[in-house]
Amino acid sequence: MSTDLTTGSGADRAATGAPGRDPEGPDARRAARREGWSRRLPLLPALIFTILVTQIPFAMTIWYSLRSWNLLRPDGETFVWFRNFVDIFMDSTFRGAALNSIIITLGCVFAALILGTLFAILLDREFLGRGVVRTLLITPFLIMPAATSMLWSVSLLNPSFGLLNWVIGLFGAGPIDFTSQMPLFSVIMALVWQWTPFMMLLILAGLQAQPKDVLEAAALDGAGWGKTFLFVTLPQLRRYIELSVLLGAIYVVNTFDQIYLMTAGGPGTASANLPFYIYQRAFLGFDVGQAAAMGVVTVIATIIIATFALRLIFRSFDTKD
């Protein structure tokens, strides 16, 4: 990336009067190094703070994960190496929670992305009151997840008076006790509803960011709407799609509120995802060691996924310039 000399380098040269990348002697090299640090300086507060607040607790989590520490057992803390990790992988509930995390994230992100793209295409037109309509449609994303969880589990999915049960009743289907009969599906529905507007907003921004002359050129060349979308719009939307998938996935993986409030991970542990199960082990089972071990596994899995995601981000950053 240090070879990425696009706009920034021109400015640096203008500011310093010297091509800092081509040092002629030790003095110049030292000056360049000092210059380099002065450029990093604006970054440091944010970097140090985020590392302090996330990396140190994470280091502590790793430490805890190697210790047997159950608040219910009086024998206190002992160092047990990797026993906690062995234990959690033997734990079928943990494996189930991991699977649920994957299902929820994939299901939610893809459904929301497809719906959001469709909505964005429909809204990318001129009509009266478009701004207000578009703004109102963002509402699901703004409502507190704690409140939407209540909204879904109570007024929409309740078997006796839920709106959704009333709607399927119109088609002759019997009432379904969604949160206990299909808890995972219920949670995903609530999440998709919440995340669709977010995807829509980003894709819409992408659609409106398209250079109009390219679209006009495509139209002049006789491309129909479908072809224009497939070969002109979609490639240009790539950055925005990647951004929405990435940001969506990061937050959906960490979903806790909906599960805590809609199904409490139930029935049994049928809809527990990793964050919820960790919370359960730590705050209800008081097994800090195992909870920490699960936290470590979650973070490692996240890092693996995030690496792919980051690669995508940087590729889009680089091709942009």
Partner 1 sequence: MSTVTQEVPAPPGRAPQISKAPHVRAGRRAQPARTLHGAAGVAAVVLIGVYCLAPFYWMLVSSLRRSGDIFDTTLLPSVFSVESYVKVFSGSSDFAHALVNSLIVAATTTALALVFAIFAAYAISRLNFRFKNVILAVIIATSMFPGISVVVPLLRLFSDIGWINTYQAMIVPSLSFAIPLAVYILTTFMKQLPFDLEEAAMMDGATKWQAFRKILLPLAAPGIFTTAILTFIQSWNEFIIALSMVNDPAVQTATVAISKFTGASEFQAPYGEQMAAGVIVTIPLVIMILIFQRRIVEGLTSGATK
- Give least dist CB 71 to partner 1, A: 11
> Looking at 80-88, 91-99, 180-188, 205-213, which segment touches partner 1 (CB under 8 A)?
205-213
Task: Name which of 82 and 308 has its Cβ closer to partner 1.
Answer: 308
- Give least dist CB 166 to partner 1, A: 5
Cis peptide bond N-terminal to 145, omega within 30: no
Q: What angle do CA 119, 125, 128 make, to 5 degrees?
A: 105
Question: Kind and range of the H or E element at 131?
Answer: helix 130-137
Task: Name which of 78 and 155 has its Cβ closer to partner 1.
Answer: 155
> Looking at 70-78, 88-96, 180-188, 252-260, which segment touches partner 1 (CB under 8 A)?
252-260
261 near partner 1 (CB under 8 A): yes
- Count CB atoms within 10 A of the CB of residue 77: 13
Contacts of partner 1 in 141-180 (CB under 8 A): 141-148, 150-152, 154-156, 160-161, 163, 166
Token readout for 66 is 């190697």
- Give least dist CB 86 to partner 1, A: 19
- Count CB atoms within 10 A of the CB of residue 109: 24
For 68, the 3-state DSSP assignment is strand
Among 209, 214, 230, 234, binds partner 1 (CB under 8 A): 209
- Give least dist CB 317 to partner 1, A: 7
Q: Tell the residue number behind the tokens 């940087």, with chain if given.
A: 314
CA neighbours within 13 Å on the CB side: how many for 269? 20
Among 42, 74, 76, 222, binds partner 1 (CB under 8 A): 42
320 near partner 1 (CB under 8 A): yes
Question: What would you report as the CA-atom Rg of the chain, rounded to the nearest whole angstrom?
Answer: 25
